[in-house]
Amino acid sequence: MAFLRQSKGKEHTEKTRTARRVSFFIGHMDRSNVLGEVLMRYLLVLFIAIMIFPAAAAADYKELFEQEFLSKPWAGEQVEVNACIDCHSSDKMKPEFREMTEAWQASWHAQNKISCHNCHGGDPKDAAMSMSRQRGFIGVPETQDIPEFCGKCHIGILKNYLESGHGKVFKSTGKGPNCVTCHGSHDIQKANIEIINEQRCTRCHSYERARGMKQALFLVEKKMEGMEKDLKRLQAQGIFADDKERALFSTQAEFRALFHTVDVSLVKQNTDEFTKRLNVIDKEMQDIFAELRFRKNFSAFLMLLFAGMAVVIVVYSKLPKE
Ligand code: HEC
Ligand code: HEC
Ligand code: HEC
Ligand code: HEC
Ligand code: HEC
């Protein structure tokens, strides 16, 4: 009996064990299906959250930035071909005149759509009449008129220049430098303090004066240079920073106009005020960088959190039930 019972018991346990094994297998399958689904859902949510969170915050910036960027003249196409450029770059033209057109094409003016007729007048739409006086053609300015020729657009600079030692001497004796002496005429590039160098500034007087001016400009120039780099970094990350760009560039333009007074002590006097104004813009940019860093860290944190949760769920699903 005892044996019977024992064998029965054994049989019983055998049976139940198999049954349990089968049911565990089936149950496990069910459970892993459910878990799989839950897991997939979590991962999907996690994925969407990670993708959307920083993107959503940047989306409005990006859109605005693109709108703004594409409307900038230097972002669009180059100046459309016109009669002046057509003819002045053709074989009809003597080589040294063709070179002028090439130089202009590589200039900052060309990038900003300042074309031949904007400086020389005339009608770029009508090849036959383009260089006629009736169409406003001015032609080549007399040397002593160059400051006004350029200054019709660069008004503040013209004013500072005319009141400066350089402007006064140029106007009275023709011995001072004019705009073209320092910037060129067709190959004009963005200005910076490297224009002040021994080669250019020792033609009429010792380099000492020029050096003093360069030193006075240096601090603010370095600051602006660093800020321009930061601005580019922001824009490269798709951040809309047009207000900062405008503020920086107008401050920069004002500061650089100051050079044309060639008054070293005036530049020194104004250094503090410009530094303060730049600091305000700089602070705003640094705040955006801080926010970006926070956003990045927060995404990483979310990623870790969800990955951790996923691991917990997987481990949990692997444990036998009971
Ligand atoms: C169909 C050809 C043609 C067209 C179009 C043309 N030019 Fe000229 N341009 C010339 C020639 C040829 C000269 C004379 C070169 C010489 O002196 O040998 C010249 C000379 C000039 C000069 C220097 C001499 C001067 O008379 O003052 C300027 C500046 C100038 N062109 C500007 C322009 C501008 C601006 C336009 C458009 C509004 C224009 N050109 C359109 C052919 C052309
Ligand atoms: C930013 C203003 C500006 C623009 C834009 C400009 N020029 Fe001039 N150009 C000048 C000045 C200033 C001079 C005279 C001083 C000099 O020769 O450097 C001049 C001189 C000339 C001369 C006479 C050169 C000589 O040796 O007699 C020609 C020709 C000329 N430009 C053609 C052109 C053509 C063609 C374009 C367009 C592709 C053009 N310029 C665009 C400012 C400009
Ligand atoms: C028709 C208007 C116009 C005329 C005329 C003109 N410019 Fe400009 N200039 C501009 C514009 C627009 C820009 C681009 C905006 C800017 O950078 O300030 C510019 C840019 C410049 C720059 C670079 C500024 C920077 O940001 O570093 C220099 C330098 C310059 N011009 C010098 C001259 C000289 C020299 C002349 C005369 C030979 C001249 N310009 C004539 C309109 C003009
Ligand atoms: C074409 C000649 C010429 C060139 C080139 C020239 N200068 Fe001058 N510079 C003058 C004249 C003329 C004066 C005023 C008369 C004087 O004080 O000797 C002057 C005066 C100065 C002064 C003193 C102004 C004052 O009011 O005390 C400074 C600073 C100066 N120049 C800087 C420069 C710099 C920087 C450069 C180069 C980017 C330069 N100059 C290039 C002719 C020139
Ligand atoms: C003695 C050399 C010299 C002369 C003359 C001169 N400039 Fe400049 N210009 C400079 C230097 C140097 C800078 C850069 C100053 C700086 O970086 O702070 C500059 C800057 C500029 C800028 C850039 C301002 C900005 O927005 O960033 C323009 C535009 C300009 N000059 C136009 C002119 C015009 C127009 C004239 C004639 C009326 C002229 N310059 C005469 C040397 C000169």
* Mean pLDDT calculated for residue range 32-46: 63
Tokens 């011995």 correspond to 175
* pLDDT tens-digit map of 223-261: 999 999 999 999 998 888 899 999 999 999 999 999 999
* pLDDT tens-digit map of 81-139: 589 999 999 998 999 899 999 999 999 999 999 999 999 999 999 999 999 999 999 99
Helix axis angle, 2-71 to 242-259, nearest 10°: 40
Count of alpha carbons within 13 angstroms of residue 299, beta-carbon side? 16
Q: Is the C-beta atom of 217 inside 6 A of ligand 5?
A: yes
Instruction: Report CA 150 to chain centroid distance, whole Å.
Output: 28
Which pTM does this prediction carry?
A: 0.81
Which of 35, 25, 26 lies closest to 312, judged by CA?
35
- Of 69-73, 104-108, 265-269, 287-291, which range is least confident? 69-73
CB atoms < 10 A from the CB of 281, how many?
21
* Close Cβ partners of 307 (under 8 Å, ≥ 6 residues apart): 46
Residue located nearest, by CA, to atom 23 of ligand 5: 191
Q: What is the pLDDT of residue 44?
A: 63
Mean pLDDT, the chain, rounded, equals 83
For residue 221, give the ligand nearest its CA: 5
Q: Is the C-beta atom of 169 inside 6 A of ligand 5?
A: no
The DSSP element (H or E) to which 111 belongs, if any, is helix 108-111
* pLDDT tens-digit map of 279-308: 999 999 999 999 999 999 999 999 999 999
pLDDT at 55 over 60: no
Q: Residue 241 C-alpha to ligand 4 middle, in angstroms?
A: 38
222 vs 255: CA distance, rounded Å: 12
Q: Is the C-beta atom of 112 inside 6 A of ligand 2?
A: no
Q: Residue 145 C-alpha to ligand 3 middle, in angstroms?
A: 16
Q: Residue 169 C-alpha to ligand 4 middle, in angstroms?
A: 9
Which of 181, 302, 193, 286 lies closest to 241, judged by CA?
286
Q: State the closest ligand 3 atom to the C-alpha of 183, by its place in the atom list counted from 1.
A: 35
* pLDDT tens-digit map of 186-204: 999 999 999 999 999 999 9
Q: State the closest ligand 2 atom to the C-alpha of 146, by its place in the atom list counted from 1.
A: 12
* Mean pLDDT calculated for residue range 138-161: 96
Residues with CB under 6 A from ligand 3: 108-109, 112, 114, 118-119, 149-150, 152-154, 179-180, 183, 185, 188, 190-191
Q: Is the C-beta atom of 185 inside 6 A of ligand 2?
A: yes
Both tokens of 157, joined, read: 């600079």
291 vs 283: CA distance, rounded Å: 12
Q: What is the pLDDT of residue 232?
A: 95
31 vs 21: CA distance, rounded Å: 15
Q: Is the C-beta atom of 85 inside 6 A of ligand 2?
A: yes
Q: State the closest ligand 3 atom to the C-alpha of 192, by its place in the atom list counted from 1.
A: 27
Residue located nearest, by CA, to atom 2 of ligand 1: 87
Q: What is the pLDDT of residue 320?
A: 82
Q: State the closest ligand 5 atom to the C-alpha of 158, by its place in the atom list counted from 1.
A: 38
Q: What is the pLDDT of residue 32?
A: 54
Helix axis angle, 242-259 to 207-236, nearest 10°: 170
107 vs 113: CA distance, rounded Å: 10
pLDDT at 315 over 70: yes
Burial 78-91 (b: 16+ CB within 10 A, else e): ebeebbbbeebbee
Q: What is the pLDDT of residue 35?
A: 60
Q: Which of the two residues, 130 and 68, has the higher pLDDT score?
A: 130
Q: Is the C-beta atom of 200 inside 6 A of ligand 2?
A: no
Q: What is the pLDDT of residue 319?
A: 86
Domain residue limits, the chain = 82-140, 209-322
Both tokens of 216, joined, read: 């006075």
Please give the angle made by the CA atoms of 67, 72 and 276, to the nearest 5 degrees: 100
pLDDT at 218 over 70: yes
Q: Residue 190 C-alpha to ligand 1 middle, in angstroms?
A: 26
73 vs 89: CA distance, rounded Å: 23
278, 251 Cβ separation under 8 angstroms = yes
Q: Which of 186, 188, 190 has the most ligand 2 atoms within 8 A of CB, as the residue to mutate?
A: 186
